[in-house]
């Protein structure tokens, strides 16, 4: 007998960094019309994934939604999925965090809606075989993958759409195929694609077509409240195709009459991830793991490294279970998918929010009764090269031996990472303590790309000294110059001593500039002060953190340049960072080093100063 089962789902996962006002607009424009229409079509079951933070927001602001949804679950019109509480990219997380997030959402769904989830949603359907253990270990029986994954396995066209089972270490997981491209076409009004796909799928009663719509953006989605959109679509499903039955996952599995094929899915490749998140895949992406994006996008890798480091700190916390639970919640909040996937302005906002959560988790993981400031070396960036980490009572400052630059500068009392500036179009990185050289014909030397060797790591005095050699061109030819950078870390300051030494060749004349990019959140969040009549001193006022950066240096007059940078991409006009670039005129000769000392003092502003914005 010919037939078809149709599985309809909606993913509801607005950014967790969204304000209450924005969520209210999202609720009334998209979610409320969706629930109202679903309630009127009891013969079209709906499968939902709702992120944990948004479920809790609904509990606080719209209990009527929770009540109606629970009633629809009781009459088996709606099935709610589990998954990661904070909408993470699950394969990216350490196994214990995967399990923690899944169990947290399972508990919340059961508490609010009265039913434990049987299946789990994977954001962007990114797959890794190790997920079998994580999902089944939390009591989940099935998940969803893109139909492309089934096609790559060689599943025949007559079986495309029918679930398969996969296994890992004796654990069995059922995988439903989802036709992602069809959902996008339907939301754009292309119902011809729907009709064609349905007619192609008609066959045995176990034939299945699964379509999931996404409600994960705050932008208005006309499809869910216009009569020609979701309502028309539900009418088509109800009466347009005799022999087609709408199901949810549990009812389909209960009525299935065929034995599912056993398959082993390979990890999602990089090209597939790029298509799912809307970024251009590089060459050879089909041959690379989805995790390759961490190599291609430095911002994502820095956050990932911070997340792994924080995970290790929180995991080692013993004794106070309430403190550990609070630290875990901050850690999980910092694992939201949107913070890691490069997605323009949204990723920019989400990434800094994630840094704030991870810094908060790190602070909670410390035992303040025994914690002492420390200077250590550790492969923080997970690149095979040890970085240098100063972890103080008020701030963290991490130095990369490549370039001798700071790539993370955390303020702990009001969690913030000042070194989280976006990449710019010029060659040198938008980091802190970047060394640049100029002569009359332009920039020369690339110390910021050189690996500095370790000269001294004095943990007791909290002193770090690095050195590197590079060539500088000039009117008199090419010369070799060594730069030595010594960092002295104090509780409220950082002192950097710079020594430039000409090793060979004729004298070299030009300018030495030290660039530092500090991200304050918005252009007007940081106020800059510099008096040319006081050439050795400048100040940045960080209003949200209530701090003054007092910056002093020793060597002669140095005009300080301050620029609020803007990208030249599609996001032109977006704030990038406050840039500070003191530039010194120098003349290097063999045997006579040029030495300067730059000091950053971090001073809290008084309440009157802060609120006055002075």
For residues 69 and 63, is the Cβ–Cβ distance under 8 A?
Answer: no
Listed residue (47, 55, 59) closest to 14, CA to CA: 55
Q: Give me the pLDDT at residue 555, please.
A: 61
Query: Which of 109-118, 381-390, 554-563 is predicted least confidently?
Result: 554-563
- DSSP class of residue 452 equals P
Listed residue (527, 577, 122, 528) closest to 348, CA to CA: 577
Condensed to tens digits (0 to 9), the pLDDT of residues 198-230 reads 988 887 667 899 999 998 877 767 888 777 788
Distance of alpha carbon 358 from alpha carbon 266, whole angstroms: 31
Condensed to tens digits (0 to 9), the pLDDT of residues 501-560 reads 999 888 999 999 988 999 998 888 888 887 777 767 888 899 999 999 888 888 666 666
Listed residue (588, 598, 526, 531) closest to 563, CA to CA: 526
Other CB atoms within a 10 A radius of the CB of residue 378 amount to 11
Exposure string (b/e) for 106-137, b if CB count within 10 Å is 16 or more?
A: bebbeebbeeebbbbbbbbbbbbeebbbbbbe
- For residue 469, the SS3 value is strand
For residues 539 and 501, is the Cβ–Cβ distance under 8 A?
Answer: no
Residues of the chain above pLDDT 70, percent: 93
Distance of alpha carbon 13 from alpha carbon 123, whole angstroms: 10
Condensed to tens digits (0 to 9), the pLDDT of residues 340-367 reads 987 656 677 889 999 999 999 999 999 8
Helix (H) or strand (E) holding 315: helix 298-315
Residue 142 has pLDDT above 90, yes or no: yes
CATH 3.90.1150.10 assigned to domain 372-612? The reply is no
Helix (H) or strand (E) holding 8: strand 4-12
Would you mind telling me the total number of residues written for the chain in this entry? 614
Residue 592 has pLDDT above 80, yes or no: yes
Domain extent listing, the chain: 4-274, 297-370, 372-612
Q: Using alpha carbons, list the distances in angstroms from residue 250 to 5, 43, 176, 195, 362.
A: 12, 15, 11, 25, 41
Distance of alpha carbon 566 from alpha carbon 576, whole angstroms: 6
DSSP letter string, 554-574: -SS--PEEEEEEE-SSTTTT-
Residue 608 has pLDDT above 50, yes or no: no
- DSSP class of residue 269 equals B
Query: Which of 193-197, 265-269, 353-357, 607-611 is predicted least confidently?
Result: 607-611
Helix (H) or strand (E) holding 542: strand 537-542
Distance of alpha carbon 429 from alpha carbon 209, whole angstroms: 48
- DSSP class of residue 523 equals G
Instruction: State the fold for domain 4-274.
Output: 7-stranded beta/alpha barrel (3.20.110)
Residue 569 has pLDDT above 60, yes or no: no
For residues 596 and 511, is the Cβ–Cβ distance under 8 A?
Answer: no
**Of 573 and 147, the one with more pLDDT:** 147
Distance of alpha carbon 2 from alpha carbon 205, whole angstroms: 6
């Amino acid at each position: 007998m010919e037939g078809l089962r149709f599985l309809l789902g909606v993913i509801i996962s607005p950014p967790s960094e969204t304000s209450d006002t924005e969520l209210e607009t999202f609720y009334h424009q998209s979610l409320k019309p969706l629930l109202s229409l679903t309630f009127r079509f009891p013969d079209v079951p709906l499968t939902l994934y709702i992120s944990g933070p948004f479920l809790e927001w609904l509990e606080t602001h719209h209990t009527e939604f929770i009540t109606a949804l629970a009633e629809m679950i009781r009459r088996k019109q709606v099935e709610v999925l589990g998954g990661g509480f904070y909408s993470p990219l699950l394969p990216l997380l350490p196994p214990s965090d995967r399990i923690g997030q899944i169990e947290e959402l399972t508990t919340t769904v059961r508490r609010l809606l009265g039913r434990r989830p049987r299946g789990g949603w994977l954001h962007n359907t990114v797959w890794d075989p190790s997920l079998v253990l994580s999902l089944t270990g939390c009591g989940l029986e099935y998940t969803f993958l893109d139909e492309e994954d089934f096609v790559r396995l060689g599943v025949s066209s007559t079986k495309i759409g029918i679930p398969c089972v996969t296994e890992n270490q004796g654990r069995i997981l059922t995988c439903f195929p989802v036709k992602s491209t069809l959902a996008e076409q339907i939301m754009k009004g292309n119902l011809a694609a729907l009709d064609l796909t349905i007619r192609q799928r008609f066959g045995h009663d176990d034939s299945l077509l699964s379509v999931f719509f996404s409600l994960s953006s705050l932008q208005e989605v006309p499809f869910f409240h216009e009569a020609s959109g979701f309502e028309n679509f539900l009418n088509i499903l109800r009466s347009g195709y005799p022999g087609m039955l709408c199901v949810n996952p549990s009812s389909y599995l209960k009525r299935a009459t065929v034995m599912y094929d056993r398959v082993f899915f390979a990890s999602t490749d990089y090209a597939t991830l790029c298509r799912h998140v809307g970024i251009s895949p590089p060459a050879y992406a089909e041959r690379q793991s989805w995790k390759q994006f961490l190599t291609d996008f430095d911002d994502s890798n820095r956050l990932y490294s911070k997340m792994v480091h924080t995970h290790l700190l929180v995991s080692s916390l013993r004794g106070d279970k309430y403190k550990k639970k609070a630290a875990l919640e901050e850690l999980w909040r910092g694992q939201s998918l949107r913070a890691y996937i490069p997605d323009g302005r949204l990723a920019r906002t989400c990434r800094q929010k994630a840094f704030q959560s991870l810094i908060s988790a790190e602070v909670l993981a410390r035992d303040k009764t025994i914690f002492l400031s420390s200077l250590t070396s550790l492969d923080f960036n997970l690149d095979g090269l040890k970085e240098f980490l100063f972890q103080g009572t008020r701030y963290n400052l991490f130095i990369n031996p490549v370039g001798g630059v700071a790539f993370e500068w955390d303020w702990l009392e009001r969690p913030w990472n000042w070194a989280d500036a976006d990449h710019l179009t010029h060659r040198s990185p938008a980091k802190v303590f970047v060394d640049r050289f100029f002569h009359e014909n332009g920039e020369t030397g690339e110390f910021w790309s050189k690996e500095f060797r370790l000269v001294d790591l004095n943990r007791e005095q909290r002193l770090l000294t690095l050195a590197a050699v590079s060539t500088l061109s000039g009117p008199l030819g090419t010369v070799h110059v060594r730069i030595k950078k010594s960092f002295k870390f104090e509780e409220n300051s950082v002192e950097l001593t710079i020594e430039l030494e000409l090793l060979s060749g004729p004298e070299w004349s030009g300018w030495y500039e030290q660039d530092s990019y500090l991200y304050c959140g918005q252009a007007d969040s940081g106020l800059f002060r510099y008096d040319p009549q006081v050439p050795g001193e400048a100040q940045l006022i960080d209003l949200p953190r209530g701090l003054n950066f007092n910056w002093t240096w020793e060597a002669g007059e140095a005009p300080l340049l301050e620029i609020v940078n803007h990208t030249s991409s599609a996001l032109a006009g977006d704030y990038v960072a406050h840039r500070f670039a003191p530039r010194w005129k120098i003349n290097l000769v063999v045997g006579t080093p040029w030495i300067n000392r730059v000091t950053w003092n971090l001073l809290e502003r008084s309440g009157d100063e802060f609120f006055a914005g002075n």
